[in-house]
Amino acid sequence: KQEVTQIPAALSVPEGENLVLNCSFTDSAIYNLQWFRQDPGKGLTSLLLIQSSQREQTSGRLNASLDKSSGRSTLYIAASQPGDSATYLCAGKAAGNKLTFGGGTRVLVKP
């Protein structure tokens, strides 16, 4: 059974610092790994999707890497802004289109 873990559970940084969010998964037989953003009381917004055959994906200030052999993915957010404050969730996709989510990392970017 796939288990997804995110460390740290919470992170607070001053504006301008780079953010590094970690995600680990136990079953390397994933189809893809996705990163989502969730604002308080809201649904999820997809940020990046990395296919199992890829090593990384980039979108603007966001970069996500995937290392299947070690069961890890990392989300980098460059030059953080207060608007980046949210909870970030990673999820591994298995057969049947099912997503297994990590516990999330709550990020606070202080102005």
Partner 1 sequence: GAVVSQHPSRVICKSGTSVKIECRSLDFQATTMFWYRQFPKQSLMLMATSNEGSKATYEQGVEKDKFLINHASLTLSTLTVTSAHPEDSSFYICSAPIRYAGVLQDTQYFGPGTRLTVL
Q: Using the rule CB under 8 A, which residue among 21, 93, 107, 109 binds partner 1? A: 93
Longest dimension (CA), the chain: 42
Binding mask 48-87 for partner 1 (x = CB under 8 A): -x-x------------------------------------
Which residue do the tokens 């989502």 mark? 36
- Rounded to a whole number of angstroms, the minimum distance from the CB of residue 92 to partner 1 is 12
Residue type, 10: A
DSSP state letter for 60: T
Nearer to partner 1, 23 or 109 (CB): 23
96 makes contact with partner 1 (CB under 8 A): yes
Is-contact 90 28, C-beta < 8 A?
no
Nearer to partner 1, 40 or 111 (CB): 40
Note the residue count of the chain: 111
- Rounded CA separation 68/81 (Å): 30
* Interface residue list for partner 1 (CB under 8 A): 31-32, 34, 36, 41-46, 49, 51, 89, 91, 93, 96-104, 106
